[in-house]
Amino acid sequence: MGFEKLGQFNACVNPDQTRIQQLYAIGAASLAESREQLHGLPPVNFVTLLIANFDALDNGELGHWTKGLIDAGSRYFCAWGNRCDLAHEIFDEECSMFESDEESVIMTTDHRDDSIDDAIWFALNCAVPAPPYDRNWNAILAVSIDDAESLDRLRAVFAEPTQFCEQHDT
């Protein structure tokens, strides 16, 4: 496990604009361990996809983790896994403390009714930070907590994101 840069993806921001997204993954046994691995992320606005069994996580620790990622530059949070709706609520709470006005909103979503592939596809194709954060957004960070199978899937998708998206769309 650990912090990995896995590839890049030409994301279609709108019909007239694409943007190269750097794709990163962290596999860790706990939120605390993943937080220790954040060094090395580029200092830019990025999207975070958190994959975990949220029943097994402490809500206070998840709030602290979210604040750390906001401080690191995360401007869109997606959650997938058992009870990811809990994470969505915590993301919203932490993000609201950061947002200084109605113009600076950090987006959050949960994907409780989606497959892991659908959640990854969403992060790659739909999770675009709201203005003004969309201007220097160029990375997606996927974090898998205590789930080797999901981490393996992330690695496979992030190694060949264009092929994954083409196959997923059909």
Q: Which residue has the higher pLDDT, 4 or 34?
A: 34
Local confidence band at 165 (pLDDT 50, 70, 90 cut-offs): confident
pLDDT at position 28, please? 93
Q: Please say if the pLDDT value at position 8 is more than 80.
A: no
Q: Please say if the pLDDT value at position 15 is more than 70.
A: no
Local confidence band at 84 (pLDDT 50, 70, 90 cut-offs): very high
Q: CATH no. for residue 137?
A: 3.90.190
Percent of the chain with pLDDT over 90: 45
The whole-number average pLDDT for the span 48-69 is 92
Cα–Cα nearest to 123, from 65, 83, 71, 84: 84
Pairing of strands 74-80, 45-51: parallel
Local confidence band at 123 (pLDDT 50, 70, 90 cut-offs): very high
Q: Which residue has the higher pLDDT, 38 or 48?
A: 48
Q: Determine the structural domain holding residue 41 and report its residue range.
A: 2-169
Calpha distance 68→77 (Å, rounded): 13
In the chain, how many domains are there?
A: 1
